[in-house]
Amino acid sequence: GERQRGARPPRDPTMSPAAPDLAPAGDEEHRFFLAPLRHTKTLYLIRHGEGYHNFFGERDREMYKSEKFFDAHLDPKGWAQCAALRQHLERATTHDGAESLLDRIECVVVSPLMRALETAVGSLGGDHLATEEARSAESRVMMRATSEVEGIRPGHPAIAHRVTRTRAPLPFLACELCREHIGLNPCDRRRKTSEYRAMFPGVDFSEVTEEDDVLWGTMNEDNAAMCARAHRFMEWVMKRPEQHIAVVTHSAFMAAMLREFGATDQLGCAEEVQAETRRWPNNCEMRPMVVVDPSGGGGVDPMFFAGGDTGL
């Protein structure tokens, strides 16, 4: 009769004796998906900490339209969230405690908007520097100290480069493709690139080619446009040589990525996996995700060994 779905076929008696079953037969088909490592990357998706625009805008949506919050800074709670994420990262290890997970991150990609830049250096940057220390160690400065402007920014000491066991320093790279929704809210309009370079000397802005924000105010991105930009961003990421990349971005763009590339019914993902993937991100949440590129656009995997006559 017809073999029951999920049952193992009878063993061919002409073959070698079968090894004992290591796992029972299940009812699932194609539950797992194997892909060569070089066609994958691990992304640590991070939404920025709470900004002044979030604090006031969630209480009155009209405040998102206020010029007061142009390119909004983190508020005091946002900086505290960065400190909490930083502490979490510095404590996180492999299951046996032998390796710091922070050492795995090879590059930090960050949106060129103030709140994302402050979150990147606040959570993944190095130690805070006293004023005199920052002046005497200019090459170590990732973010310059800022003074308080009431209701606009809380002021913060300078921050040094992050030095890990494997990277000195950990590189930071700004990328306009992962900026927030391009629309009409002033909080999403960026400053001149030269201003950011002066404020964040430890961040590489070479990928941001325009001095002025030539995108804000020219459109009001719909979901299709944001997902198209997410595709361009993912193509850019997959061409990079790093395997483990932190991406500091924004809620709407992160949600667009998760909708476009996240777990779906078509992939056979359980409802709880879909819910976990598509949940709206909290401020300063870090969500590690594995990206698989089935088109074969990956690079070289240094761990791959062809065997056969290789090396003989």
Catalytic positions, please? 48, 180
Count of residues making up the chain:
312
Contacts of 9 (CB under 8 A, 6+ apart): 3
What the block records as the tokens of 242 is 């790093």
Judge contact between 40 and 296, C-beta under 8 A.
no
Spell out a b/e string for 107-138, using b for 16 or more CB atoms within 10 Å of the CB, else e: bbbbbbbbbbbbbbbbbbbbebbeeeebeeee
Beta strand 244-249 with 40-47 is: parallel
From edge to edge, which strands make up the β-sheet containing 141-143?
128-129, 158-160, 141-143
Q: By CB neighbour count within 10 A (0-12 exposed, 13-18 middle, 19+ buried), where does 260 fall? A: middle
Residue 47 β-bridge partners: 249
Contacts of 259 (CB under 8 A, 6+ apart): 223, 227, 278
What the block records as the tokens of 238 is 């997959």
